[in-house]
């Protein structure tokens, strides 16, 4: 243990011991960690009294604002009853009620809920279930997985294997499963010269070819429905999902919808799959599930899958998969409070109104900037892809780290605008107000001008 002399700042004490996630620690030499004291709504307050607007919802998880009074109260109430219990053979009211509520809002095929404790573990669970499902229903040759290029499903080895973003995955390829990567839609740079609004998903030919070649050996395909988040908020049309559902049914391949980022109203509907009017066989939920309060996830499955594991003990058909904190009661209490607020405060309807206004304002403020290639949006998520030239859509030089430079200027100005490469985005709490968004738009634009003046 180190001797923490009072002369050392909190920032120095942090850097002497903590390895932060998804960061180059050397960058902290010029941008020390921001030590947060408290949060309220969309605002974070650091220990020096400076405030920052959290326009990225703290990694897309914070659904209804920080320290939301009703969620806080629900957690405090649960805490005095039960903090945690083994979830094998034992259960509790919050988990049961949460499963009932999820059953009511999830797509039609989904009726069973397997609790895990983070997004990646929900994906791992979905992959293992799919593999085992076919193993014990007479098609053991279905061992492989398909996924979309530029996809992201988490950081554990299995989840990384079905991800295609080189940034996260390339180095670890020798450790991974051999999956089939299908070229994803790329609507901004559509190779067929179509637009997202007017196309027949010509790019679906890649999925058709992959299924024709590999469906017999494939257990499941996993996708982020409508929105490839980490890839830079890449949005594709619902028609793609409709076609994929059909293709999966034709070839008997399970469809896994990773709604970890898109779930709970992020894309304007409760789930992204709702916009395509399809039901996956398995759906992964996390992030907004607890309002971004506690690590919890659910792998939601169809009865068909569940029944394939239901048998007398000793037949080897059960699912030997558990996480210590699965179904944690405090997490469930938070999730129940989130659902109550969503219903009673008409969060989806209000967010839809706010989103319309935001689209118009973003377009007005950013539309003319010579480096703004596309302003794309789905639900309240709005992303701005910066390019060298909007006509050619040529990317900015990645070595210049333009997005990161803008991020640093935005922080000085009090906005957490953590970019995805050179894509700036808003993914705020669903109950953010227009006044708050006004600040975010103006501050983001000023920060853009700091780095790319016109």
Ligand X SMILES: *Cc1c(COP(=O)(O)O)cnc(C)c1O
Helix (H, G, I), strand (E, B) or coil at 314: coil
Of 66 and 287, CB closest to ligand X: 287
Overall residue count recorded for the chain in this entry: 454
Burial class (CB in 10 A: 0-12, 13-18, 19+), 89: exposed
Kindly give the pairing relationship between strand 51-54 and strand 415-416.
parallel
Strand partners, 45: 38, 51
First to last CA, the chain: 52
Residue 418 engages ligand X in binding (rule: CB under 6 A): no
Which span (114-122, 140-148, 393-401, 428-436) binds ligand X, by CB under 6 A?
114-122
Stretch that binds ligand X, among 106-114, 117-125, 184-192, 413-421 (CB under 6 A): 117-125
Q: Please list, in sequence order, all residues whose beta carbon lies within 8 angstroms of the beta carbon of residue 60, skipping any fewer than 6 positions away.
A: 229, 261, 266, 287, 288, 427
152 binds ligand X (CB under 6 A): yes
d(CA 299, CA 286): 9
Task: Enter the DSSP assignment of 427.
Answer: -
Burial of 322 (0-12, 13-18, 19+ CB in 10 A): middle
- Pick between residue 116 and residue 279 the one whose CB is nearest to ligand X: 116
Q: Strand 254-258 vs strand 234-235: parallel, antiparallel, or unpaired?
A: unpaired
Scanning 21-29, 86-94, 113-121, 308-316 for contacts with ligand X by CB under 6 A, the matching segment is 113-121
- DSSP for residue 419: -
* Part in contact with ligand X (CB under 6 A); list of ranges 104-112, 169-177, 246-254, 258-266: 258-266
For residue 297, list its beta bridge partners: 116
Applying CB under 6 A, among 118, 267, 371, 402 the residue interacting with ligand X is 118
Nearest residue relative to ligand X (C-beta): 119
Least Å from the CB of residue 213 to ligand X = 26
Comparing CB distances to ligand X, the nearer of 325 and 366 is 325
Cβ distance to ligand X smaller for residue 402 or 427:
427
Among 286, 302, 402, 443, binds ligand X (CB under 6 A): 286
326 belongs to the binding site for ligand X (CB under 6 A): no
- Binding residue for ligand X, selected from 41, 154, 232, 280, defined by CB under 6 A: 154
Q: x/- site string to ligand X, residues 216 to 235, per CB under 6 A?
A: --------x----x------
**In 3D, which of 180, 183, 289 has the Cα closest to residue 234?**
183
If binding is defined by CB under 6 A, does position 354 make contact with ligand X?
no
Which residues, 6+ apart, have CB-to-CB distance to 93 below 8 Å?
none
Residue 117 interacting with ligand X (CB under 6 A): no
Give the residues lining the site for ligand X (CB under 6 A).
Answer: 118-120, 123, 152-154, 224, 229, 258, 260-261, 286-287
């Amino acid at each position: 243990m180190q001797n923490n002399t009072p002369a050392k700042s909190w920032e120095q004490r942090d850097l002497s011991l903590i390895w932060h996630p998804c960061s180059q620690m050397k960058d902290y030499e010029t941008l020390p960690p921001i030590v947060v004291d408290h949060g309220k709504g969309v605002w974070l307050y650091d220990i020096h009294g400076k405030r920052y607007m959290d326009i990225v919802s703290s990694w897309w998880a914070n659904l209804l604002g920080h320290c939301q009074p009703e969620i806080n109260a629900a957690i405090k109430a649960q805490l005095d009853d039960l903090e945690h219990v083994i979830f094998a053979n034992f259960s509790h009211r919050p988990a049961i009620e949460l499963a009932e509520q999820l059953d009511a809002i999830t797509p039609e095929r989904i009726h069973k809920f397997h609790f895990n404790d983070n997004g990646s573990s929900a994906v791992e669970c979905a992959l293992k279930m799919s593999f085992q499902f076919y193993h014990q229903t007479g098609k053991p040759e279905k061992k492989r997985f398909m996924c979309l290029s530029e996809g992201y499903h988490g950081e554990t080895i299995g989840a990384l294997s079905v991800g295609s973003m080189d940034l996260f995955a390339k180095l670890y390829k020798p450790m991974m499963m051999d999956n089939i990567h299908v070229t994803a839609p790329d609507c901004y740079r559509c190779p067929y010269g179509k637009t997202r609004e007017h196309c027949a998903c010509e790019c679906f030919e890649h999925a058709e070819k992959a299924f024709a070649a590999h469906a017999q050996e494939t257990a499941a395909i996993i996708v982020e429905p409508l929105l490839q988040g980490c890839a830079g908020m890449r949005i594709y049309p619902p028609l793609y999902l409709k076609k994929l559902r059909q293709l999966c049914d034709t070839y008997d391949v399970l469809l896994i919808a990773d709604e970890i980022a898109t779930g709970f109203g992020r894309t304007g509907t409760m789930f992204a799959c709702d916009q395509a009017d399809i039901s996956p066989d398995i759906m992964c939920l996390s992030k907004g599930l607890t309002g971004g309060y506690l690590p919890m996830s659910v792998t939601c499955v169809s009865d068909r899958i569940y029944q394939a594991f239901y048998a007398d003990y000793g037949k080897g058909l059960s699912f030997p998969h558990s996480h210590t904190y699965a179904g944690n009661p405090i997490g469930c209490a938070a999730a129940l409070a989130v659902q109550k607020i969503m219903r009673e405060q008409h969060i989806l309807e209000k967010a839809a109104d706010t989103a319309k206004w935001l689209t118009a304002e973003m377009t007005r403020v950013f539309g003319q900037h010579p480096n703004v290639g596309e302003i794309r949006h789905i639900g309240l998520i709005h992303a701005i892809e910066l390019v060298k030239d909007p006509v050619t859509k040529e990317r900015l030089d990645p070595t210049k780290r333009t997005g990161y430079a803008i991020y640093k200027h935005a922080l000085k100005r009090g906005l957490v605008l953590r970019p995805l490469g050179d894509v700036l985005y808003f993914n705020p709490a669903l109950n953010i107000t227009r006044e708050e968004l006004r600040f975010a738009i103006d501050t983001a634009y000023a920060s853009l001008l700091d780095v790319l003046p016109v």
